[in-house]
Amino acid sequence: MAILEVLKYPDPRLSRIARPVEHINGDILRLVNDMLETMYAAPGVGLAANQVGAFHRIIVLDVDLENPQKNVYKLINPTIARSEGEILWEEGCLSVVDFTAEVRRAAQVEVVAVDEHEKEIKIEAAGLLAVALQHEIDHLDGRLFIDRISRLKRDLYTRKRKKMLRTGTPPPTEKPRVMI
């Protein structure tokens, strides 16, 4: 297994749409395991293949902060089959450094995917798991959480980030509690 580089905004590859996985083979399984290792090392609770420069519809999640590695999700070709309600959640992202914002999401979702053994799974989710699923599926569709906030907030962050990159200023080392 290997720790992969996580792409950072404004890398244009983050806006690419991932393609469905046609065959689960050794390369796909290796990618899934590398993504998990990368997510834990970051540290984060979710990671989409787009974030590591692989444009396959794959996400990994582990939102159980009390028992890490006990409730791991490895989802291939995930889709949101149903959503309901509304929740406002403070989101951060491994690809969007030094910024969090409240994002409006569905409060409950049902996600359908296949696992690494090509078995179909359905996940009924609420709370952090529902938010993380939606956040990661957005990545697969080429969207970041900052695409869901006001244009003013997004523009302010974009200018700040570009200045950081231009001047070589590193982001602060303090991170929010949960990075999706």
Domain ranges of the chain: 12-167
Closest among 100, 108, 109 to 145, alpha carbons compared: 100
**With left for phi above 0 and alpha for psi between -120 and 50, is residue 93 left, alpha or beta?**
beta
Model confidence, pTM: 0.93
Which stretch of 44-48, 70-74, 164-168 has the lowest confidence by average pLDDT?
A: 164-168
Span 42-49, average pLDDT: 96
Point out the residues that are catalytic: 136
Partnered with residue 105 across adjacent β-strands are 87
For residues 131 and 109, give the distance between their C-alpha atoms in angstroms, rounded to a whole number. Answer: 9
For residues 63 and 180, give the distance between their C-alpha atoms in angstroms, rounded to a whole number. Answer: 9
Partnered with residue 56 across adjacent β-strands are 19
Q: What top-level class would CATH report for the domain 12-167?
A: alpha beta
pLDDT for res 1: 78
Q: How many Cα atoms within 13 Å fall on the side-chain side of residue 173?
A: 0
Q: Which helix (H) or strand (E) holds 90?
A: strand 87-93
Span 48-66, average pLDDT: 96
Which stretch of 77-81, 95-99, 138-142 has the lowest confidence by average pLDDT?
A: 95-99
175 has a pLDDT exceeding 70: no
For residues 125 and 109, give the distance between their C-alpha atoms in angstroms, rounded to a whole number. Answer: 5
176 has a pLDDT exceeding 70: no
Closest among 64, 71, 46 to 140, alpha carbons compared: 46
